[in-house]
Amino acid sequence: MRLNKYIANAGLASRRGADALIADGKVRVGGKVVRELGYDYDEAADGPVSVNGKTIAPAAADPSSGRTAAKKIYIALHKPKGYITTTKDERGRPTVMDLVADADARLFPIGRLDGPTTGLLLLTNDGDFAQRLAHPKHETVKTYRARVTGPLTKGKIERLRRGVDIGGYVTKPAEVEVVKQAERSMVIEIKIHEGKNRQVRKMFAAVGCKVVDLERTAVGAVRLGRLLPGHWRKLTLREIESLL
Ligand code: URA
């Protein structure tokens, strides 16, 4: 199998993204840097592949996971900080479209992430799909990891779970778990079933806390997983179906 396909099948990047990683010397095969685009990778003979020093587990590179529906395209992007979720920005700021230009399709984002928010953003050229997913009745669960400062007591967590007023709107019940407790901040996993503008930041603000880092880690059953920042991959058929 082509090395770029192997990396793409493992969900780290698109094939072209994988080519860029190979050209940048970020990919090792059997411990040796490979810079040859079009390298024909033989798993048994060549040994494991690593990207940015992390080995790809062979099971993760299942070729069937690369299957996608015909014509329509559905992709998952790992949005880095500083990119705006819009198809065009009048002020010339970098947009998420810059990161998916090599997908060669007229894509648009499904929902949006704030400029400073990182993580999973879905894009498609399938208008019906995007509309169905964005419809409030769909209530697709979105999972976020937030690093927050300010005292977050058990009582406040309970309020976040039940619903808080974020300026004339009371949020629906959410799942909120403490992932890590540090001296000055906490990492919280929060799952919401709706998507109001800047909702997670506003929810924490409503209980007197500040979100200092926010990453979306999943939309429904589609997970950010090991997708590298700034890279995209195609959704699998199973992922597409699961969203509907
Ligand atoms: N909630 C936010 O506050 N920001 C996002 O980007 C997404 C959800």
- Confidence class of residue 180 from pLDDT cuts 50, 70 and 90? very high
- Provide the sign of the torsion angle of the four alpha carbons 173, 178, 183, 184, taken in this order: negative
Q: pTM to 2 decimals? A: 0.82
Q: At residue 93, does pLDDT exceed 70?
A: yes
Please tell me whether residue 157 adopts helix, strand or coil conformation: helix
Mean pLDDT, residues 56-76 taken together: 65
Please tell me whether residue 186 adopts helix, strand or coil conformation: strand
- Confidence class of residue 69 from pLDDT cuts 50, 70 and 90? very low
Report whether residue 143 contacts ligand 1, using a CB cutoff of 6 Å. Answer: no
Q: How far, in Å, is the centroid of ligand 1 from the Cα of 117?
A: 7
Return the pLDDT at 105. 86
Element (H, E) at 9: helix 3-9
Q: pLDDT tens for residues 112-146?
A: 999 999 999 999 999 889 888 888 788 899 999 99
Which of 214, 217, 219 should be mutated for ligand 1, with most atoms under 8 A from CB?
Answer: 214
Domains belonging to the chain, first-starting first, are: 3-65 (3.10.290.10), 74-136+227-243 (3.30.70.580), 141-219 (3.30.70.1560)
- Relative to beta strand 232-234, strand 74-79 is antiparallel
Q: pLDDT tens for residues 26-42?
A: 999 988 999 999 999 98
Give the separation between CA 231 and CA 3, rounded to whole angstroms.
16
